[in-house]
Structure 1
Amino acid sequence: MQFPESWLREFCNPPLNTEQLADTLTMGGFEVEETRPAAPPFSQIVVAEIQSAEQHPNADRLRVCQVNAGGQPLQIVCGAPNARAGIKVPCALVGAELPPGEDGKPFRIKLGKLRGVESHGMLCSASELGISHEGAGLLELPADAPVGQSLREYLRLDDTLLTLKLTPNLGHALSVHGMARELAALADAPLKSWSEGLAAVPATVDDALPVTIEAPDLCGRFSGRVIRGLNTQAATPAWMVERLARCGQRSVSALVDISNYVMFETGQPSHIFDLAQIHGGLHVRWGRAGESLKLLNGATVALDETVGVVADERQVQSLAAIMGGEATAVSGSTQDVYVEAAFWWPDAIAGRSRRFNFATDAGHRFERGVDPTQTTRVIERITRLILDICGTPQTQAGPVTDQQAGLPQPAPITLRVARAAKVIGVPLTQAQCASIFRRLGMAFTEGEGQITVTPPSWRFDLRIEADLIEEIARLTGYNTLPDTPPVAPIRSSARAETRRSPFALRHQLAGLGYLETINYSFVQESWERDLAGNADPIRLLNPIASQMSVMRSSLIGSLLQVLKYNADRRAERVRVFEIGRVFTRDASVPGSAASVRGVRQPMRVAGLVCGPAAIQGWQGKQPAADFYDVKGDVQALLAPRQPVFEAASHPALHPGRCARVLLQGQPIGFLGELHPRWRQQWELPQAPVLFELDLEAVLQHPLPRASALPRQLSSERDLAIVVPEAVTHAALMQAIHAAPTQGLLKAAVLFDIYRPKSGQSASGVNAGEKSLAVRLTLGDDQAPLTDEKLDAAVAAILIRLEKDLGARLRA
């Protein structure tokens, strides 16, 4: 929120300079993000009147002007298209300094000649003075501007603009008077109400527009007034245009400017309808399916039962609390208007404007809560400004109508003084707490050691005792609170030794050559359909972009996007990983403070490898990383546990180069090469290899178990067996370790595979068979090995292989 300091001081003017005022607001919970002057520095620029403007004898686009700047008439050559006799404009005298240009140096005005004609100064535009970005011509000043007066003094350009960064609970501070009310409490200074001295405008006609509130859960109060016979083409006064500009609001027209001005002043948004375009009365209700509305911004929105509207007998005319419709917008031909100010329930407005992908100042205020008691006073304030600016001898105002369907009733909150002192950490008395509540304008009653406070109508953020304690702390002054160490010792919770931290996993992946990426959890719906096989993803009600409309159930799409970004920039070798959360539907998940009902949110770790297996060195270019390189990385992550890889299918992976990863018989993820279809669709130079694992399973880290060194040497035996082509390595090892070797088998390693040429038999291996060479390590920790023990163990293994796999010794 932005506003000028001078406007704030009209309501509350404590004995503080600008820096102290900004510090007071910041320490009171209203962060002043920036303070800057209303205009950059310049000097010797005064109000002047152009007395004559003649064509330059040697230039078509220049005029020679005679200017009254408060002394002797000055001759100034000017090229502005609106330079003409009779207007008052800023004039930079000889020796004046204009604001610095792009080089950072001020521009000094000197006596000069333009096409042979002397020029004793310069007539200025708003952009040349740094007041505005609009610089199509000279800045025209009001006709009553005093000639010769300093422009800085006349336009109050030494004012300071304050930019505040307000948190969502501070809706009561979204106005100049709201900030003045808080400043008065913080500085213990007197406050002038915006409605002080505001007299009711008497009704001169009985005209009233009938209003019906059909949805009391949408609108609690609706006030309005008919005003006839206006001159809507009247110009907005310069003082109002100036204040709106310093609040960051562009001037539109007199009626719109008045509505915006009162909103910035009081915090109450309002709307002005063209009365001639309203058919019958107004109905405040929820929208209906199939209805639509063309808004003031030109967009047409579809309505439903969750959006509030204001409609007449024929159609919807306004989006409740957000934006008016184009049909009833005031124009230059409007003569009769209906002025409306209402109280809308915050819960009925919150999030509605974001649903239509735009935001308004009115919606921003209403969804945080606006004082419901001030609607009729705001109508009186707007009426007085309309009569002063747009009034004519024929102007007539009707009575103020006020429909109330139900206003919020703040629940009393009890504050225990001892509790407040304990939480804040300073001694407090009941009188101190009562004084703070009195400065904040809160009604309260006192009891023994406690104060019962009724929140004022403009404070929607006060609901529990902790809120009152916060009010006491900030008005006491956070900077006055003593620095006291915690009373209780702080002990960090120890992580189980059987579980490593995600940071250790990150370091291990970095050691394997991977770089970490961080991506949004919001992804394209097509990613979920194509890469995760998820036809019903969790959709966002309010996506920040159309391509980020669903929650991801897999990390693969995010990693492919990183690869695509790097590949488009000719990165030859990409090795990335991400540790992140995914979101899947699960009806068994209950709702809680840390979970959403029906949504499971596990953590995953995923990696992607594309390009050479290693960085090119003196050995020359390295071969591309393949399935087995990444499989080795997965085994390293899970070591010393031994995962099992079995053939599987996955929507994102190559059907013949994909494996499911199992740990102790439980699936924990997938590993494989990207499907050729998706490689072609993403236009990747080569197919990457990816893995995605459950993070909790990866973080488990069993403790090593110590064992005594064997007292006897082990022995090795090699076997060459012939098995059918379909036998897998996993089946081979399972059969070997299942053999009854009396504990002698220590390890088994496959070290060779032989297949005959296609359709032929050779060396005892027939077509459709293969020869597997296995090295067995046998040992006995208690007794020496004998040939009889070794032969019996090998025989047991051969019998098991023949029984389970149909294997035979190779001849």
Structure 2
Amino acid sequence: MQFPESWLRAFCNPPLTTQQIADTLTMGGLEVEELRPAAPPFSKVVVGEIKEAAQHPNADRLRVCQVDVGQGALLSIVCGAPNARVGIRVPTALVGAELPPGEDGKPFAIKLGKLRGVESQGMLCSARELKLSDDHGGLLELDASAPIGKDIREVLNLDDHVFTLKLTPNLAHALSVYGVARELSALTGAPLQEPKFEPVVARNDAKLKVKVSAPDLCGRFSGRVIRNVDTKAKTPQWMVERLAGCGQRSVTPLVDISNYVMFEFGRPSHIFDLDKIHGGLDVRWAKAGEQLKLLNGNTIEVDEKVGVIADDRQVESLAGIMGGDATAVSDSTKNVYVEAAFWWPESVQGRSRRFNFSTDAGHRFERGVAPDLTVEHIEHITRLVLDICGGEAGPMDDHVVKLPERKPVTLRVARAAKVIGMPVTERQCVDAFARLRLPAKAADGLITVTPPAYRFDLSIEEDLIEEVVRIVGYDHLPTTPPLAPITAKLPPEARRSRFAVRRLLAALGYQETINFSFVEAHWEKDLAGNADPIKLLNPIASQMSVMRSSLLGSLLQVLKFNLDRKAERVRVFELGRVFLRDAGVQTTDTTVRGVRQPMKVAGLAYGDPDGLQWARKAGHGDFYDMKGDVQALLAPLQAEFAPAAHPAMHPGRCAAIRVGGREVGVVGELHPRWRQQWDLPHTPLLFELDLDAVTGREVPAFEPVPRFQPAERDIAVIVSEKVSHDQLLGAIRSADTGGLLRGAMLFDVYKPQQATAGLALNEKSLAVRLTLARSDATLTDEQIEAAVRAVVERVSTQLGGRLRG
């Protein structure tokens, strides 16, 4: 909300400086985001009238103008503006004037000089040269009544200031100059200049047939016909200046009047060309497939959820948002229909965003505009139209369908004191409501307030408490430090932080990425095997239509982005939340019921695992490189790896990761099908784990340093080729060794090329080093041999293996 200070003071003029007014509004809840002068500093620029304009003798595009600036003698000024002509009054910079700084930041001084051999005694100025606007199409033409020789700053009120307010959505009643003045009056106690809307006498009986078919769209519709208006009339300078102070460019008189009343009283209205309306108007919900060309030139298609104003042939206006091009006023308009309505906020909210634009009218209507002054505001618009454009007004036509019910709200004074944090009395509360013009009745510590028609934000007790504290003043609130015990929150020793996980992955050479939780639908189907992902009702982009249930698609997108920029080695990871359907999830928030949102950690490696170095040849990582990274990430927990299938991974190079018997993730190579689809030169390696499994760890337990040297024994066992490494170590660890086995490590695998005396083609030899020890004594040979025999017997009975001779 932007407006000039002079307009605000016309309604409420407290004995405060400009900065004090800004501070008062900010402390009253109406934050002043910016306060700036209406124009930059410049001097010795006056109103001049061009008396003569002759062609320059030495230049085709220049004219020699004789300008009257009230000094008796005319000044000879050379000008190149295309609109320099006799009779117009324009800003004239005299010799010695300083104009606003240019791009170099230095003021521009006007000196006596010559242009193509002709002396120039000043400069005729455009709006851009005075930094009043970006218009550089010609001289700034002033009103014909501007006094010759008078300082232009005084004529155009350029010593004014412009306020820009940053209003929260509940302050719809302050979206006008009068609304802000009403707040300023309440905050300062200064008198408020209340407007008077004198009825305009009807000069004809012309009426337009209007029908309101949708009471849930429009609660009140008022209008009036005005005949024989002059649309070529000029908008008064005072109105142009005030609109400019609100950031609005002057267009045509009728459009300017409509905009002016909207900024003045917060009442959006619309003026139709009456002769372009076919039959009457019908206020209704749109029908699917109907189209409307708007004033901004866009053609939109509407449906049953959008309100419109239609005539007997077509849709003419988007209700509460923007008028249509077909009935727009133009220079040839003679008869108009002025409309002001109350649109239910719910019927306007979100409609502009559907069509990717916003308007001042929609911004106000979706927050709530008072329904009780439509007739009075049309009277005000009518009087402005008659004064500026002439014409004959018809009778007022007011259709009241259904108005919002203003339910009383009760405030408990004791509750207000508790919430505000300082003692407040019943009298203070009643006085605050009186200053805010809110009807209130007090009795026994209870105050009942009936919100006026323009206050859509007062519905619960806390709303009234906010009004009280605004008037009492936030600066009067006592400074009370909070009292709370300071207790250190120690993290459990059996958990490590997410930051520690990030630091560990960074130490392994990975870089963290942060991606959207919204992904493409086909990622979920192809990479996660999720045929029913959680869809977004209003996605920010078509390729972000569903919630992800896996982080792998996001990492592949990062890989593709880097490869397109010639990266040769990519190692990235992400910690993020995924979203899974789970009917067992019940929460107080109904929007997230049936949705489980666990945290995951995923990584991707592409290219040489070690980067370029002299000690080994460059190559690409394999499954075991990624497996080693996963083991390092989970350490000191011991993970088990078992063959598995995953939609995103190679069928023969994918493993499920288990910790403590529970499956916590997956690791493997990307499926060749997806590698081809993503156009990847080499195969990336991926893993994805439940974050809870990664952050969990065993609490360290003290063990004394062993005093006795352990014994090591190497055995080679022959087993079937189908026996896995995990199966072998599982059998060894389950052997009854009397607690002597401390560790077992596979160090050799042998597979014959052809059958031998000791090994068949479907068998293999696995060599394992056993570590045996006791904490209380040195092992004897008999104990060692017994433990080795127990291991061999266990392998034999469980896996069908035998000791290799």
Shared fold per TM-score greater than 0.5: yes
Q: 1:380-435 deviations in whole A, cap 9, x for unaligned?
A: 2222222222223xx33232322222x22232222222222222222211111111
Residue type of the alignment partner of 1:356: F
**1:706–1:557 Cα change, 3 Å:** same
Name the stretch that deviates more: 421-430 or 149-158.
Answer: 421-430
Q: 1:511-567 deviations in whole A, cap 9, x for unaligned?
A: 334333333333344544444344544343433344444333333333334444444
Residue of 426, 434, 439 corresponding to 2:435: 439
Q: What aligned pairs does 1:95-114 form with structure 2 within 5 A after superposition?
A: 95-114=96-115
Show the counterpart of 2:626.
630
Is structure 2 residue 744 aligned with structure 1 residue 745? no
Show the counterpart of 1:400.
397
Residue type of the alignment partner of 1:328: T
Name the stretch that deviates more: 476-485 or 518-527.
Answer: 518-527
**Structure 1 CA distance, aligned partners of 2:624 and 2:247?**
61
**Structure 2 CA distance, aligned partners of 1:364 and 1:191?**
26
Q: 1:78-118 deviations in whole A, cap 9, x for unaligned?
A: 11111111111111111111111111111111111111111
Residue type of the alignment partner of 1:201: V
**1:220–1:702 Cα change, 3 Å:** farther
Q: 1:129-185 deviations in whole A, cap 9, x for unaligned?
A: 111111011111111111111111111111111122222222222221111111111
Structure 2, gaps ≥5 residues long = none
**Structure 2 CA distance, aligned partners of 1:245 and 1:621?**
71
Q: What aligned pairs does 1:423-572 form with structure 2 within 5 A after superposition?
A: 423-489=419-485, 491=487, 495-572=491-568
**1:786–1:537 Cα change, 3 Å:** same
What SS does structure 2 have at the residue aligned with 1:272?
strand
Show the counterpart of 1:345.
344
Residue type of the alignment partner of 1:18: T
Question: In the alignment, is the contact (CA less than 8 A) between 1:567 and 1:685 conserved in 2?
Answer: no
Q: CA RMSD in A?
A: 2.7
Show the counterpart of 1:169.
170
**Structure 1 CA distance, aligned partners of 2:189 and 2:576?**
50
Name the stretch that deviates more: 670-679 or 439-448.
Answer: 670-679
Residue type of the alignment partner of 1:40: P
What SS does structure 1 have at the residue aligned with 2:369?
coil
Residue of 758, 767, 770 corresponding to 2:764: 770
Show the counterpart of 2:294.
295
Show the counterpart of 2:79.
78
Show the counterpart of 1:28.
28
Show the counterpart of 1:377.
376
**Structure 1 CA distance, aligned partners of 2:382 and 2:487?**
64
Question: In the alignment, is the contact (CA less than 8 A) between 2:49 and 2:90 conserved in 1?
Answer: yes
**1:654–1:165 Cα change, 3 Å:** farther
Show the counterpart of 2:234.
235
What SS does structure 2 have at the residue aligned with 1:41?
coil
**Structure 1 CA distance, aligned partners of 2:791 and 2:287?**
77
Show the counterpart of 2:203.
204
**Structure 1 CA distance, aligned partners of 2:647 and 2:678?**
15
Show the counterpart of 2:389.
390
User: Which TM-score applies when normalising by structure 1?
Assistant: 0.92
Residue type of the alignment partner of 1:256: V
Q: 1:684-715 deviations in whole A, cap 9, x for unaligned?
A: 56444333322333333342334455565433
**Structure 1 CA distance, aligned partners of 2:532 and 2:196?**
61
What SS does structure 1 have at the residue aligned with 2:592?
coil
What SS does structure 2 have at the residue aligned with 1:153?
helix
What SS does structure 2 have at the residue aligned with 1:148?
coil
Show the counterpart of 1:152.
153
1:653 deviates by 3.5
Residue type of the alignment partner of 1:49: E
Is structure 2 residue 776 aligned with structure 1 residue 779? no
**Structure 1 CA distance, aligned partners of 2:84 and 2:281?**
49
1:765 deviates by 4.1
Is structure 2 residue 53 aligned with structure 1 residue 53? yes
Show the counterpart of 1:186.
187
**1:65–1:683 Cα change, 3 Å:** farther
1:232 deviates by 2.8
1:591 deviates by 5.3
Percent identity between matched residues is 65
Question: In the alignment, is the contact (CA less than 8 A) between 2:575 and 2:601 conserved in 1?
Answer: yes
**1:455–1:505 Cα change, 3 Å:** farther
What SS does structure 1 have at the residue aligned with 2:667?
strand
Show the counterpart of 1:10.
10
Q: 1:350-385 deviations in whole A, cap 9, x for unaligned?
A: 222212222222222222222222222222222222
Residue type of the alignment partner of 1:203: A
Name the stretch that deviates more: 295-304 or 674-683.
Answer: 674-683
Question: In the alignment, is the contact (CA less than 8 A) between 2:352 and 2:358 conserved in 1?
Answer: yes
Q: 1:311-346 deviations in whole A, cap 9, x for unaligned?
A: 333333322222223333333333332222222222
Name the stretch that deviates more: 148-157 or 279-288.
Answer: 279-288
Q: 1:741-793 deviations in whole A, cap 9, x for unaligned?
A: 44333322122223344xx3468444344332222223345666444444444
Is structure 2 residue 798 aligned with structure 1 residue 801? no
Q: 1:175-230 deviations in whole A, cap 9, x for unaligned?
A: 2111111111122221123xx22211223333333333333332222222222222
Residue type of the alignment partner of 2:803: L
Name the stretch that deviates more: 684-693 or 447-456.
Answer: 684-693
Show the counterpart of 2:606.
610
Residue type of the alignment partner of 1:31: E
Show the counterpart of 2:575.
579
Q: How many residues align?
A: 804
Residue type of the alignment partner of 1:771: S
What SS does structure 2 have at the residue aligned with 1:85?
coil
Question: In the alignment, is the contact (CA less than 8 A) between 1:207 and 1:399 conserved in 2?
Answer: no
**Structure 1 CA distance, aligned partners of 2:487 and 2:365?**
45
Show the counterpart of 1:118.
119
**1:541–1:150 Cα change, 3 Å:** farther
1:502 deviates by 2.5
Residue type of the alignment partner of 2:260: Y
**1:615–1:227 Cα change, 3 Å:** same
1:273 deviates by 2.5
Residue type of the alignment partner of 1:100: P
**1:797–1:141 Cα change, 3 Å:** same
What SS does structure 2 have at the residue aligned with 1:461?
coil
